[in-house]
Amino acid sequence: MGVLLLCYSNTLHLEKLINHIYIKKTILILDFLYIAANLKIISRQGWIDKLSIVNPESVADHTFSMAIIGMILSDSQNYNTNKILKMILLHDLAESITGDFTPEQKSKKDKIILENKAMKEILKNLPKTLQKQYLLIWNEYQTNETNDANFVHQIDKFEMALQAKIYSKQNRSSKDFTTFFDSAKKEIKHPDILNLFNQLNN
């Protein structure tokens, strides 16, 4: 009888321990999700500073649009769509903490340092395997030395041009949108993205 009670007690203790670990893990993942959801209220600063647009798109809006573009182009080009989409979803995630900066507000070097620090803080509550995976993808995007990273950078620029075209059609600003199209044109080299960009300007 004593052995049975001991076994029962140990089982209860193990169940409580498992539940505690599960609940703690869930809470930590929720913390990450809260931070990620914050991108929905972070405005894209360039539209405000350069075009004085009221209620511009959020960083989350931009990321969603990029994800749709990335999915279509990646699938049609036989890229690693899974990786491309992860890179897109992660590429501006640090801005959920730092906010969005234009080049005039902060140098590229300072922006990278700030965002790298923020990204490590954002990912720290995820399981170690996910932290490692996402940081590798994030760093690959930041250094922009691979075909995948360069592909995503060009999608980023094209999406900016697409949104500029949308705003221009909506007459959201009396200011000139040319600077956004010129910036995108300098970066876009991939044939499919360039073709879309050229059609956008017709």
pTM: 0.84
How confident is the model at residue 46, as a pLDDT?
92
pLDDT at res. 108? 79
User: For residue 145, what pLDDT is reported?
Assistant: 96
pLDDT < 70 positions in the chain: 1-27
191-200 vs 147-169: helix crossing angle, rounded to 10: 10
- How many folded domains does the chain comprise? 1
Q: Which domain holds residue 179?
A: 2-200
DSSP class of residue 105 equals T
Q: Which of 135, 126, 200 is nearest to 166 (CA)?
A: 200
Contacts of residue 177, defined as CB under 8 A and 6 or more positions apart, other chains included, come to 51, 164, 165, 167, 168
CATH of the domain at 97: 1.10.3210.10
pLDDT of res. 26: 57
